[in-house]
Structure 1
Amino acid sequence: LQRCLLEAPYDVDVRIRLARAYKRLGYPDLAVGETYKALLLIDEVLEEGGEYHEEALEAACSSIKSLIKNGISPDSGYVNDHKHDLSVTDEDVVIWARKYWSRASYPLLVECLMLCGCLKSASTYSSMALKSFPDDEKILVLRDKLALEVSSYLRSKDIDADGFGKEDYPDRGLVRRELYPWNDHEPDRYSSTSIDFLNHEMTKVAPKLEVLAVKLPVLSIPKTSLIGEQYSDASTEFDQQLGIFAKEDISPGEIILNEKSMVTGITRLHDFFCDACSIKLPKITTTALDLDENSSPEQSICCEECDDVFFCSQECHDLAQESYHPAVCGAVVDIISKTVPATEAADFLYSLLLLRVLSMAETQDIHPLEVKEIKYIWGDYHGLPLDRLYQTGKDEEPCGSFGGIPKTLPFSFEMNIQTPLHLLEKMDVNIFTQSPRYDPWVFNTLYAKFRGTASARQGLDGKPETGAVHPMWCLANHSCDPNVAWEWEGSIKFWTKEKRVAWKGKEARTVTGIKKGEELLSHYCDIRLPVKERREWAAGALGGDCRCERCVWEAGERHDG
């Protein structure tokens, strides 16, 4: 079905069938994306002024002929006479779009949104479905099921139903965080080719460091995903990962990595921060065309084609023009300047990182998963063998809607589906013909890579203000007793610590730098916290409880009394 879309990207029927296939395989989130595209195409069929009306109409005619030939009518029943006239008029197409495809799409979208925990979005499309098909039994059943889901949510959160409206419904859930079987863009990170490339990149920002493969403890796997399988304690198993090592002895306090990244996101108005590296800007502004030898180094530079973004230097201006800005120049102000509630600020920042990678892919004319800053980042996928662990019920439907596979990737209809597609449309990308590049599974994979590797800064109001992914920096593995400290201000820097953190029951140690061959250990949480709180904080980034030496020591000490 994915291959069919390469030949027929405007075919509504193929997209509905692909959505159903995703649902049967335990990917209701991907089904949401395809069903939403099907509804967009139905609108294109029905609206003569639509951008893709002619293409969608032609594809619909061809699809309808095939359906009629197979004995299917627009009322979703079967035609007895297969030898009737196969000619299809524009009026026939409208009937099919309204009576057959819309009737099939709405219930599928509502059901899959509910399975993903997006009850607010499900309610919106349920109301739209009822308006179009007030007597449809399946839609009525889903309406009642949605009401039960909301009641269950209220009970679980001990929320009073009085004053709780549809705008308060939860609209965020968890889905599978997975290296999809059809994803052929993920490199072998441990091959000599990959490690040679990473070390070439590392030399540019940290000449005394190198990337090597390392064995790390496998962190805890949710027990609910292992029904019927016997696994040993995850703490006794090890897995291969990448790490950063010293190529020579390094002195205490020495800056050993200085990396600037274009994969940044900014939630504030852009005249406060450099659009490229996100450092705070000087107050004086000029354009790249007006710069001369008399220009002040304290001047920020705005894009000469638009007044939407500003840069801290000529270097950042040029890097932006080479890597990402042409695709979004003057096109995405409404997305960037959007105001979001504090509870959604972190997710919004991740969506801006997604925006940046999509604009990089479009500017460089490559697949988003081939962007070099992202390609070699591990997405903390579950890594479980689907052929043995995927579970179905008696009706061949996936158990628990996701086939018993762990759900650890945050998902919302707005951030994972609507916002990326809206952005692509703003960039003049055809979201139908370019599906192989910009499918929902691609967005999910990018989000999986961001979460756990992106660094962020908070504003004075406590909301995340800027975020970035630094591909070399994020290769450093975590320890609650790190031997390096880091700071991000435009570029991100590592320097060797002069004193290690005090363990509970042990004195802090003065160190003599990092020895040749020793691994650099960074930290993904506040290392001043007790072990339980540290593990809770870092679990999202690590994919389980931290098992560094300090955590094992302190957890054992607590257990012993």
Structure 2
Amino acid sequence: MVSRSGTTQSQQPLDLRMFESALRLFDDQINRSSYDANHWVRRGSFMREHGFPEIAVGDAFKAKLLLDREPANLEARKAVYEILGQALLGCHCHWEAAELWEEALKQYPRWGMAGEKATDLRELLRRKEAAAASLGGTPQEQKDRLKDGGVFTVNYRWTEFSWTPERSLTRSSKLVALINEELRGKDGETTCYLARSTLAADGNDDMLGMFASHEMQNGECILTDRTATGVCSTPAPNSRANCYASLPDTPQQAPCCSEAFCSPECLNLAMKTYHKALCGKDFTWLQRPTVGLSHNASPLRPLLMLRFLTTGVQNLTLRPPTHRAPATALQQTPHRRLHAHRIRRYPSQDPRAARRGHLRQPQLRHGCLTAHMDASGEQ
């Protein structure tokens, strides 16, 4: 489905043909002259007016960067501040919007709009901070509540846009059957399967769970999942580049740089997904805000987004991974098999856990995301 987003849901349906035609015109102008700030301003304003504030934020910010390099143009700069400020509000990014208007006020002290916007937003943030404090949590969690934005979505028929492929896969019975088929080995046997979760709240809950296909023995490994999109808050000095586990005595060396991996499979996965786009580039500054985190928090999200973006760049496609086989979308392994980190049997912490084992929600252990396999009947 096409998601149109914003602070309020539009009362008028979006004319997709007119929207696509106008968008193609803006895109063509940007392609022909990408350093013209006016093109980014016009497309950003268009996207904001039509309910896509998160896209408008990106366009307006690009225009702002371009104008910072040019001689002073008061009206153009103010127009960018207005579009960017409104778009940030459309995404409920109140913290960032307040900082933006305060920046504008410093540059243009006599601009009444900037002063009013900054004052109103700081007052709103004070009220949100008081509400967040009453919910408890760590300082980082409280800060995340203040800074987390979001958009409402209105669904439109995805296939109306000429450039879009068939809709993404969802949690349908067809998807479950496809994944279970990929989980089968060459001999047709499988150690685990995907099915409706035993932890679902009610019959309308579409939560899925991974189950062992037989009674597990203590310490048994039933699934190996090598992910290309794992992140870690505080990597160990000798951890591997892809999934941050400790390196063996004889690690696999990347052929193009000094990065090391735990196994040929891990190296192959990184090379086929994101590493070529990331190789030789220094993103350590993106890691610094996460150092010391002991729980899932917003500073980890840019690291995860970096993996997704570099995967997209390397594959030169804007199509989401769900348009391909789901279990192999991010790894593209030769045998189209699902691989993962080793999932071992852990003592049950939930009496509702399935008798044969249930893959619980991933948790952050020692700063890294891991998954637990619970088996009922053990303490």
TM-score by length of 1: 0.45
Say yes or no: does 1:356 pair with 2:307. Answer: yes
Say yes or no: does 1:123 pair with 2:152. Answer: no
After the TM superposition, which residues 80-479 of structure 1 pair with which residues of structure 2 at under 5 Å, given as runs?
A: 98-100=74-76, 102-113=77-88, 118-153=93-128, 155-156=130-131, 172-176=147-151, 181=156, 185-190=167-172, 192=174, 194-203=175-184, 207-212=190-195, 214=196, 219=201, 237-245=203-211, 249-253=214-218, 254-268=220-234, 271-282=237-248, 298-307=249-258, 309-340=259-290, 346-367=297-318, 369-370=320-321
- State whether residues 230 and 242 of structure 2, in contact with CA within 8 Å, keep that contact through their aligned partners in structure 1: yes
**Per the alignment, do residues 150 and 190 of structure 1 end up closer, same or farther by CA in structure 2, a change over 3 Å counting?**
closer
Say yes or no: does 1:35 pair with 2:64. Answer: no
Q: Which runs of 5+ in 2 are unaligned?
A: 1-18, 31-38, 135-142, 159-165, 329-336, 364-375
- State whether residues 270 and 310 of structure 1, in contact with CA within 8 Å, keep that contact through their aligned partners in structure 2: no
Matching residue within 330, 341, 366 for 1:491? 341
Deviates more, 1:365-374 or 1:256-265: 365-374
- State whether residues 306 and 329 of structure 1, in contact with CA within 8 Å, keep that contact through their aligned partners in structure 2: yes
- State whether residues 57 and 88 of structure 2, in contact with CA within 8 Å, keep that contact through their aligned partners in structure 1: no
**d(CA) in 2 for partners of 1:276, 1:19:** 37
Map of 1:524 onto structure 2: 361
- State whether residues 328 and 359 of structure 1, in contact with CA within 8 Å, keep that contact through their aligned partners in structure 2: yes
Which of structures 1 and 2 has the larger relative contact order (alpha carbons within 8 angstroms, sep 6+)?
A: 1
**d(CA) in 1 for partners of 2:261, 2:304:** 17
**Per the alignment, do residues 119 and 182 of structure 1 end up closer, same or farther by CA in structure 2, a change over 3 Å counting?**
same
Deviation string for 1:390-430 (max 9, x for gaps)? Answer: xxxxxxxxxxxxxxxxxxxxxxxxxxxxxxxxxxxxxxxxx
After the TM superposition, which residues 26-65 of structure 1 pair with which residues of structure 2 at under 5 Å, given as runs?
A: 31-44=53-66, 47=69
Q: How many residues align?
A: 310
Q: How far has the Cα of 1:245 moved from its partner? A: 4.9
- State whether residues 340 and 348 of structure 1, in contact with CA within 8 Å, keep that contact through their aligned partners in structure 2: yes
Q: How far has the Cα of 1:99 moved from its partner? A: 0.9
**Per the alignment, do residues 5 and 268 of structure 1 end up closer, same or farther by CA in structure 2, a change over 3 Å counting?**
farther
TM-score by length of 2: 0.63
- State whether residues 262 and 320 of structure 1, in contact with CA within 8 Å, keep that contact through their aligned partners in structure 2: yes
Percent of paired sites with the same residue: 17
**Per the alignment, do residues 341 and 112 of structure 1 end up closer, same or farther by CA in structure 2, a change over 3 Å counting?**
farther
Q: SS state of the match for residue 210, structure 1? A: strand
Q: SS state of the match for residue 193, structure 2? A: strand
**d(CA) in 2 for partners of 1:209, 1:322:** 26
Say yes or no: does 1:8 pair with 2:26. Answer: yes
Q: SS state of the match for residue 189, structure 1? A: coil
**d(CA) in 2 for partners of 1:502, 1:155:** 34
What is the identity, as a one-letter code, of the residue corresponding to 2:360? H
Q: What's the Cα RMSD here?
A: 4.5
**d(CA) in 2 for partners of 1:44, 1:330:** 27
What is the identity, as a one-letter code, of the residue corresponding to 1:356? R
**d(CA) in 1 for partners of 2:302, 2:264:** 27
Map of 2:161 onto structure 1: none
**d(CA) in 1 for partners of 2:114, 2:147:** 22
Deviation string for 1:71-108 (max 9, x for gaps)? Answer: xxxxxxxxxxxxxxxxxxxx9xx85xx414x3233134
Q: Which runs of 5+ in 1 are unaligned?
A: 23-29, 49-90, 160-167, 220-234, 283-297, 378-470, 474-489, 515-519, 527-549, 551-561
What is the identity, as a one-letter code, of the residue corresponding to 2:114? I
Q: SS state of the match for residue 360, structure 1? A: helix
- State whether residues 53 and 87 of structure 2, in contact with CA within 8 Å, keep that contact through their aligned partners in structure 1: yes
**Per the alignment, do residues 185 and 130 of structure 1 end up closer, same or farther by CA in structure 2, a change over 3 Å counting?**
farther
Q: How far has the Cα of 1:374 moved from its partner? A: 9.7
**d(CA) in 2 for partners of 1:169, 1:261:** 26
Map of 1:442 onto structure 2: none
